[in-house]
Amino acid sequence: MEHRTVQATKADAGSASSVADFLEKWPWFHTLSEELRKMTLETSLELTVPASEYVARAGEPSSYWYGVISGHLQMYIVGPAGDETTLYYLREGEWCGDGSLLKRELMQYDLRSLTSAHLCLIPASSFNILRSSSIEFSNFLCDVMNARMGEFVGMLVASRLLGPEKRVAKALLMLAKNGQEEDLRLSIHQHDLALICGLSRQRVNMALASFKQDGIVRTEGTKGYLIVHIQRLRSYIGTTDC
């Protein structure tokens, strides 16, 4: 399938409110001066993408800080032989692109929508002003990068030390992060889950079949959405962490 990069647009009157609502959720935004809040709102862009579209490409200039209003994104790299390695899976309420902006370098990975997604894009110029003007914003960036590093370490440990079933279980728990429902629906294809786990699709299917027998997951609907029983999944992994 051919993928294309979707272009961001200035939020119109209707969608601007959703971008504003998204920014209003963050404590750092409320600590900004009136001038900085106005600048952030006026320069932020909106991007709505269907599934399987590129949001940004490796080797392109780092132009935005990306906030996920809704949907799911995949950060990944492509090896010389064309094989994909997933670096991170972005969920609603998460941000990315900060590392490349801070280092003023080209994008080091591809950013692609796994589901339809609604994004808030803060331009690099506004990002740099916020970083140099707001301690609270800078502290938030540290928290974002620290949390992401923790996820990276967890994925690395899983790929080196855990068997296939535990790797799939850890990936499912990462996808369900912050989910409070007892049964959580994950809108992800098994092919994409295999990429996140670093396993073949066949091996992931075997693990899911085992989980279904244990009541950890089930499928629902014609599209085969995965319904994950969070507590059983956590018990299987042997952790109470989210």
Q: What is the pLDDT of residues 175-203, one digit of tens each?
A: 777 555 567 777 777 777 887 787 888 99
Domain final position from 156, 188, 221: 156
Cα 80 to its chain centre, rounded Å, is: 24
Say if 137 falls within a structural domain.
yes
Are 107 and 172 in the same domain? no
Are 42 and 123 in the same domain? yes
DSSP-based three-state secondary structure for 64: strand
Most distant CA pair in the chain: distance in Å? 57
Contact 72, 114 (CB under 8 A): yes
**Residue 71's domain spans which residues?**
9-156
pLDDT at residue 230 tops 90: no
Q: How many domains does the chain divide into? A: 2
| Residue 115 tokens, joined | 């589901």
Domain final position from 156, 180, 209: 156
If you write DSSP's letter for every residue of 145-161 in order, what string do you get? HHHHHHHHHHHHHHHHH
pLDDT at residue 136 tops 50: yes
73-78: strand order across its sheet: 54-56, 110-113, 73-78, 84-90
Higher-pLDDT residue of 55, 156: 55
- CATH number (domain holding residue 44): 2.60.120.10
Domain final position from 105, 123, 156: 156
Beta-ladder partners of 104: none
Are 49 and 138 in the same domain? yes
| Residue 196 tokens, joined | 């996140």
